[in-house]
């Protein structure tokens, strides 16, 4: 649907149609069908093709919307845990606790999007008013939402929100490879000179390689041919790894915004914090945000939802602080300023 077809008013506007925003929209739609919602997503610029690990609780939430395909190739149970990583930093280990799933984000998003009022639009400005929030998109459409949920990092937040940013001196490569990894196993390699994690990709028989390198060397790594990189990785892992296909690189950062809610705006998922990918915590955090916020909106039906938003901040702020602290300490501790290679 085009942004010009946006309705002018809705009860709840959601910016960001990735897993946290979509999960929130589905939870609300299921429990409060009378509530009008609009989801705005800048689809063209959404990062694509990630293989993601999520925890059991997040998988259970997505499962209620049949968002996790039954196809065993599309979802695989993996063994990885933050506790396992903490225990095993500096060693090459196979995670000990069966704890999560490797999912295909595009497949899950597709299932969650079903029957949702989605608009392809980039939000350019927000104006809180006494009656809610006016949202301006980059093609000059306007939407007025009584309450707004932001599920993406936005630089244009109004007061009282404040963002803090820590950029790691690392680049993360997401690569596709074939390897002799056994199915259902995520390998964690955390030391100064090893790749970060190998995980079976959910959507095919390939292996996802997440490689953390010092920012300064990322150009050299990217310049390696597939076969040179395969040799390099196989040597480091003592596994056969054949890199092929697209490489995706990004500069990770910790972005934390507080508070998590004002009178009419709530931040969930990457709208509240972006985490370093170590430990695969971010999706589960965002889905838990969506669950708590939806539950509070439902509980406060008929009463001023500001109370729900205040409670949301109180219930989730500690989880965000804890995950941000854990993942950034692990990332800095495992890779340090000097990096990996």
Ligand X SMILES: Cc1cc2nc3c(=O)[nH]c(=O)nc-3n(C[C@H](O)[C@H](O)[C@H](O)COP(=O)(O)OP(=O)(O)OC[C@H]3O[C@@H](n4cnc5c(N)ncnc54)[C@H](O)[C@@H]3O)c2cc1C
Q: Does 46 bind ligand X (CB under 6 A)?
A: yes
Size of the site for ligand X (CB under 6 A): 33
CA gap 218, 24 in Å, rounded: 36
Q: Does 79 bind ligand X (CB under 6 A)?
A: no
Q: Is the dihedral of CA 294, 78, 92, 229 positive or negative?
A: negative
Provide the H-helix boundaries in the chain.
Answer: 19-31, 56-63, 82-88, 105-113, 218-223, 226-237, 282-299, 306-335
Q: Decide: 189 and 198 in contact? Cβ < 8 Å.
A: yes
Query: Which one of residues 14, 67, 283, 309 is an interface residue with ligand X (CB under 6 A)?
Result: 283
Which residues, 6+ apart, have CB-to-CB distance to 256 below 8 Å?
Answer: 163, 164, 165, 272, 273, 320, 321, 324
CB of 303 to ligand X, least distance (A): 28
Q: Decide: 23 and 290 in contact? Cβ < 8 Å.
A: yes
Stretch that binds ligand X, among 36-44, 185-193, 236-244, 330-338 (CB under 6 A): 36-44
Stretch that binds ligand X, among 10-18, 83-91, 231-239, 297-305 (CB under 6 A): 10-18
| Beta-bridge partners for 119 | 40
Query: Which one of residues 20, 28, 78, 260 is an interface residue with ligand X (CB under 6 A)?
Result: 20
Q: Does 53 bind ligand X (CB under 6 A)?
A: yes
Q: Decide: 316 and 272 in contact? Cβ < 8 Å.
A: yes
Query: Which one of residues 10, 14, 52, 309 is an interface residue with ligand X (CB under 6 A)?
Result: 52
**β-sheet with 98-104: strand ranges across:** 51-55, 98-104, 75-79
Query: Which one of residues 13, 17, 84, 339 is an interface residue with ligand X (CB under 6 A)?
Result: 17
Q: Decide: 233 and 241 in contact? Cβ < 8 Å.
A: yes
Q: Does 45 bind ligand X (CB under 6 A)?
A: yes
Q: Does 250 bind ligand X (CB under 6 A)?
A: yes
CB of 273 to ligand X, least distance (A): 9
Q: Classify strands 265-267 and 207-214 as parallel, antiparallel or unpaired.
A: unpaired
Q: Does 296 bind ligand X (CB under 6 A)?
A: no
Stretch that binds ligand X, among 158-166, 258-266, 281-289, 323-331 (CB under 6 A): 281-289
CA gap 19, 235 in Å, rounded: 36
State which residue has the least CB distance to ligand X: 269
Query: Which one of residues 10, 12, 15, 278 is an interface residue with ligand X (CB under 6 A)?
Result: 15
Q: Does 196 bind ligand X (CB under 6 A)?
A: no
Q: Does 50 bind ligand X (CB under 6 A)?
A: yes
How many C-beta neighbours within 10 Å does residue 179 have?
21
CB of 270 to ligand X, least distance (A): 4
Q: Please tell me whether residue 114 adopts helix, strand or coil conformation.
A: coil
Stretch that binds ligand X, among 51-59, 69-77, 140-148, 307-315 (CB under 6 A): 51-59
Residues that bind ligand X (CB under 6 A): 15-21, 40-42, 45-47, 50, 52-54, 122-123, 151-152, 154, 174, 250, 269-270, 277, 280-284, 286
């Amino acid at each position: 649907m085009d942004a010009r077809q946006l309705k002018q008013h809705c009860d709840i506007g959601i910016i960001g149609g990735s897993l946290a925003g979509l999960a929130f929209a589905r939870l609300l739609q299921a429990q409060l069908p009378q509530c009008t919602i609009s989801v705005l997503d800048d689809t063209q610029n959404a990062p694509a093709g990630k293989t993601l690990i999520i925890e059991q609780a997040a998988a259970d939430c997505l499962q209620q919307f049949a968002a996790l395909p039954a196809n065993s190739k599309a979802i695989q149970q993996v063994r990885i845990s933050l506790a396992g990583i903490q225990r095993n930093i500096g060693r090459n280990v196979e995670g000990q606790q069966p704890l999560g799933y490797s999912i295909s984000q595009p497949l899950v998003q597709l299932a969650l999007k079903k029957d949702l009022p989605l608009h392809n639009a980039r939000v350019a400005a927000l104006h809180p008013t006494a009656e809610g929030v006016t949202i301006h998109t980059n093609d000059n459409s306007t939407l007025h939402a009584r309450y707004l949920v932001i599920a993406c990092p936005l630089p244009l937040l109004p007061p009282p929100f404040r963002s803090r940013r820590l950029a790691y001196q690392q680049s993360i490569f997401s690569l596709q490879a074939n390897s002799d990894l056994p199915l259902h196993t995520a390998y964690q390699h955390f030391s100064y000179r090893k790749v970060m994690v190998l995980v079976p990709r959910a959507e095919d028989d390939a292996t996802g390689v997440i490689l953390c390198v010092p920012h300064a060397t990322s150009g050299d790594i990217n310049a390696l041919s597939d076969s040179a990189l395969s040799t390099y990785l196989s040597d480091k892992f003592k596994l056969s790894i054949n890199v092929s296909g697209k490489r995706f690189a990004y500069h990770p950062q910790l972005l934390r915004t507080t508070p998590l809610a004002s009178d009419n705006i709530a931040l969930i998922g990457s709208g509240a914090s972006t985490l370093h990918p170590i430990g695969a915590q971010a999706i589960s955090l965002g889905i838990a945000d969506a669950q708590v916020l939806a539950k509070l909106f439902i509980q406060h039906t008929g009463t001023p939802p500001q109370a729900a938003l205040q409670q949301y901040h109180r219930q989730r702020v500690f989880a965000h602080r804890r995950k941000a602290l854990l993942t950034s300490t692990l990332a800095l501790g495992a890779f340090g300023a000097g990096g990996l290679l």
